[in-house]
Chains A and B, each alone.
Chain A
Amino acid sequence: MRHVEEQPESPSRPLTEPVLLILLSLADKPRHGYALMKDIETLSAGRVRMTTGTLYGALRRLLEDSWIERFDQEDTSREKQAYRLTSVGRKQMATELDRMKQLTRAAAARLRAREA
């Protein structure tokens, strides 16, 4: 019998940082591999520099879970295969962000209580 109450679409455990960054990077528009690497570096203010191995390993797992999907980009760039979020991936990301917000609020409340 499970004692932990889960939200309907909640992931079973917190997302890893590379996965969360990939999902965030794909949140506004589809991107291909190199664009993802650059955007993740920008998103994390240069703190996270993902290698191609790490990136494609994470992409493979996200494709398996159907959180992202591949499609043919209709432009003339060299890399025509791009990735975009699926509805499942978007929900998982929103759930994770809610979890982080809740944690941040709780932490801020604790800090305020200590200072007061």
Chain B
Amino acid sequence: MNPITRLYKILLRLYPRDCRAWCAREMLDAFEKAASDHRAQGLAALARFGLAELSGLLVEAGAAWIAKFTSSRYMRGFWIPTTMRRPGQSPEDWCPPGARVLSDVLEAQRRVDLNLHHMMDAISDRDFKRARFYSEEDLRTRNR
């Protein structure tokens, strides 16, 4: 691993742990490929790329922390376990104790809840067209 990638890997620790669990490896992969592209274009291009990546990472890490403290724990709890497991990784490695449930069931439940939330929101706004749309979306999700 070259120094710039190593530095990026260290800076990824600025993200909240739950966020890092699902995206850090993918981000590092994407960064490595993009860095090798820019390295071929010269040192100036690599430096510009490095600065842009650093600022992007700092801003998004801040946004991730804000989202962590302002978004619903309930919502986060549903998408994180379904998205963070890597191919070939056993459920024991990624799933926290007590949360070992089928990811498909979690995903379906999350969608049903989201549709219901949107539907209730639309009804409270007396927007029945939108409510009907989410009701149909809910039916489709349940049938799937």
Contact = CB atoms under 8 A, between A and B. Distances in A.
Interface residues of A, number: 34
Nearest to A7: B129
Interface in B78-102: 79, 82-83, 86-87
A96 B127 CA distance: 19
Contact of B83 (A34, A49, A63): A63
B140 A72 contact: no
Interface string B51-74: 011011111110110010001000
Interface in A25-82: 32-34, 37, 49, 51-57, 59-61, 63-66, 69-70, 72, 78-81
Contacts of B58: 53
Interface residues of B, number: 42
Nearest to A49: B52
B125 A34 contact: no
Interface of B: 19, 23, 26-27, 29-31, 33-34, 52-53, 55-61, 63-64, 67, 71, 75-76, 79, 82-83, 86-87, 107, 110-111, 114, 125-127, 129-130, 132-133, 137, 140
Given A33-B27, A52-B30, A63-B83, 6 more contacts: A7-B129, A53-B61, A54-B56, A57-B60, A66-B110, A87-B137
Interface of A: 1-2, 6-9, 32-34, 37, 49, 51-57, 59-61, 63-66, 69-70, 72, 78-81, 87-88
22 contacts: A2-B127, A7-B129, A8-B133, A33-B29, A34-B34, A51-B52, A51-B53, A52-B34, A53-B58, A53-B59, A54-B56, A57-B64, A59-B23, A60-B23, A60-B64, A64-B71, A64-B76, A69-B107, A70-B82, A72-B87, A79-B29, A81-B86
